[in-house]
Structure formats: C-alpha cells, structure tokens
Amino acid sequence: MVFSSLVFLFGFLPPCIMIGTLLHRRIDLQNLFLLFVSLLFYAWGEPRRVLLFVITIFLNWSLVILSARADSDKGRKTLGIAAITIDILILFWFKYAGWLGRGIGLEIGSATLPIGVSFYIFQAISYVADATLLGKYEAEKSPVNVGLYIAFFPQLIAGPIVRYEEMRDQIRNRRMTLDRFEQGCFRFIFGFCKKVLLADTVAVIANRAFSLGGDLTSSFAWIGAIAYTFQIFMDFSGYSDMAIGLGAMFGFKIPENFNCPYRASSIRDFWRRWHITLSVWFRDYVYIPLGGSRKGDRRTILNVAVVWLLTGIWHGANWTFILWGVIYGALVLTEKIIDIDRHIREWNSVKRVAYRMFSLLAIMLLWVLFRAENISSAAAYVGSMFKFGSEGISEAVLYISEMKWSLIGCTVLSVVPYDKINRKRTVLWPMILILFLVSVSYLVKGTFSPFLYFNF
C-alpha cells in the first residue's frame, strides 16, 4: 500500500483518522491502535515479511530490556552490540547477500528486498545504540511504544529516519489539535500533488530517455537528466511531505528531510539539505564514533571516505551506488580540504553563481549514475549528453511542450521553501484542493507508480 493510491486515500486512512481521534484521550490505546494499523499497512505490501518485521521489533526491544538488567556496563554494551549485529545481518542478508553471492557464482540470500528494510533497520539501530551504548535514555519498558516508534506507518517505508529521543515524549504524551490536524492535511495533500502531478509526470521523460540506449541524442539526454533530477526530488520530498503531514494528523512532529537542496551553494551544502535525516544518522552513528575530525587530517579523510562508501552501499547492492558514494565522498572531501564555505563567503556574486552551477551540474551527472542500470550504461548516457553535433531535437521539443507546466512546477518547488508556502496555506487551500482532485483523477485513470525510495 502506498500513500498515492486510492486504497490508502479512501479505504485505509479515513478509518484510521476516525478511530485514532476517538482514542485521543487514551494515549495508550491510541498507541496500540496505531501499532496495529502500522503492521496492517506493512502487511498489505509485504505479507510474507511481516513476521520478520515483528520479530525484528521484539528482538530489539527485548535485548535492550535485558541490557538494562545487566550487572555491568560491559554486559549492557555486549547486549547492545548483539542487537545491532542482528540488525545489520538482517539488512545484509536481504539486501546484499544475493548480490555478493552472484559475484562469486553462488545463489544465496533473498530474491526480494523487504519494503522499507533500510529505514526501519536504521531506526532500530539508533534506538539500541542510544539506549545501550550511549546511555541517552533508559530502556523503554513498553514493547508497544518501541513497536510504534519503529513501525509508525507514515514514515515506515521511506523515512524520514526518526530518532527515538525525538519520538519518546510524543509517544507517551501528545495532543491531537484541530490546528495541527489542518496543517497536517495541507502538508499531506501538498506532497501528494508533488508526487502525482509532478514526479510521475516528468518520470515519463526520464524513463523514455534512459530507455533509448544508443539512439539517445544529446538534446534528449540533457532533458532526460534534468527530468530525473526533478523526479527524484519531487518523488522523495513528496513522500516526506506526506509522512510529516500524516504524523501531524495524529499529533506527532516528524523531522524535516529536505531544505531546497537544489538551491545549494556547493556539494557539501547540497548534503546539508538533501535527505537530512540520513546524513545526520551517518554523522552521529558512524562519523563521530570513528573519531570525526578530532584525530588529525588523515583520520578525518578516512572517516569521511567510510561514511560515503557506506552511504553508497546503503542505497543498494549495485556498483553504480558504490561509485556514486565514492565520487560524492571525493567531492565532499575536496570541498572540506579547501574550505569551500569560506571561499564562497569571500567570492563575488559571479564566482558564487558559477560554483553553484558547477555543483548543480555535478549533482545532475551523479543522478545519471544513480539512475543507470550499470556503470557502462551511465558512461554511455553521459557520453550522449556531451556528444554535440547536428541532430534532430524534435522529440525533446515535443516532450518539453507536453510537460512544460510540470517542468515549471518542479522548478518553482525546487527553490521555494515549504515554510514560505505554509505561511500562505489559508489562501492556497482552494487551489490545493483543486489540485488534489486533479491528482485523484490521475490515479483513477492512471497506473500504479511506487515511490522511488521504496527500492532502497
């Protein structure tokens, strides 16, 4: 089940809201209900994996409980490390074992990737690490509360990746208010329209471009790359908008995951704005524990390289993702070494704009690598982009003409912060409702289009 489906919009969500609202004075019962519907939501798309999901939740909760009863600090940390090891092994088996096995001629691992496994495993690891290794809070006694934290359906499948310390007080004590509910509805519909009207529309261009192979012209290669650059942002940020909105409807504040990333002044700035919760997770649970930038330049370089290698691997079992992470790591390290933030502050406006354009070009070319099936396909695609010469551009012009309003919408929403839109929501409500009805009509007559990050 996905948010941008008729089943979710008109079958699943309305009773969840109605029953959840009736239970708002009994947080314990509402938590139990939300855990039940979250597991139902997951089971709808992964009926064969829901038992694994429940076992994962129970193991993390129980091992943290046992660690709290340990006689020594060493025993507590040992149980925490055991829980984290189990989590990593689950992620490895389903996401990477098959890929590595095929590389050495063996058929091992699972043929299908459980939906959302990268996200809920990371949330489980953060809960265990904070409770047992870092001692940020005591073990949560209620399995329902831990289960709701890991399984809460708005951000279960594709984030944002939430920390338990951000959710603990909200799980125990929160309020559903009319104002928060209204803000949540607006945010959800806003993200829904981004997904259906923008991401799914420009996806037509991207899919066409990446399917042409040797017949791809330079002009269409550029249009396809731009379309995918827009698609992945509108798709993923649209999901995050919907997750944040759904959370608000039930009284939760889910952290922001994007901050106009295509307005970034540099590569490092882009990653401060893109998939923020993932970047923060790697910073707090990998980069800082490895020593961060506190142990000299060589160690810092190594730590950054490890983080970016893991970032690439996290996105999928494919050499394209690994190379994507390695290249980003090299770019981020280069900017860190030359202190690009200081240079940008000192440069005049022309130099700042020039570097911003360079950064956007690098980001777009790396999205090509991210989208391609393999490295050779990515190289061929990039080669087509720079294969200038006499060629027909009629197909590119036709697609631009057909999709111009979607492309304009993507451009505007890529640079306008949501806070600015939210301040005008009272005025924008009529327009957003009209766009919602148009989006629903697209679903009625269209085809199923899953979110891109469901694959990761």
* Whole-number Å distance between alpha carbons of 174 and 315: 33
Measured over the CA atoms of residue 129, residue 130, residue 134 and residue 139, the dihedral's sign is: negative
* Max CA separation in the chain (angstroms): 76
CA 2 to chain centre: 15
Residues with Cβ within 8 Å of residue 47, at least 6 apart in sequence: none
* Whole-number Å distance between alpha carbons of 61 and 53: 13
- For residue 449, what is the DSSP state? -
**For residue 200, how many C-alpha atoms fall within 13 Å in the half-sphere facing its CB?**
21
Measured over the CA atoms of residue 105, residue 106, residue 111 and residue 113, the dihedral's sign is: negative
Q: Evaluate whether 136 touches 130 at the Cβ level (below 8 Å).
A: yes
* Whole-number Å distance between alpha carbons of 85 and 83: 5
* Whole-number Å distance between alpha carbons of 31 and 186: 24
Neighbours of 26 (CB within 10 A): 11
Instruction: Tell me the helices (H) and strands (E) count for the chain, helix number first.
Output: 22, 0
* Whole-number Å distance between alpha carbons of 444 and 434: 15
Q: How many residues does the chain have?
A: 456
Q: Which one from 24, 275, 315, 343 is the annotated catalytic residue? A: 315
Give one DSSP letter per residue of 210-239, joined into a string: HH-GGG--HHHHHHHHHHHHHHHHHHHHHH
Continuous segment of H or E residues that includes residue 359: helix 349-371
Left (φ > 0), alpha (ψ -120 to 50) or beta: where does 180 sit? Answer: alpha
Q: Is 343 a catalytic residue?
A: no
Measured over the CA atoms of residue 146, residue 148, residue 153 and residue 155, the dihedral's sign is: negative
Q: Evaluate whether 60 touches 124 at the Cβ level (below 8 Å).
A: yes
Question: Can you read off the two tokens belonging to residue 235?
Answer: 């798709």
* Whole-number Å distance between alpha carbons of 223 and 220: 5
Q: Which residues are catalytic?
A: 315
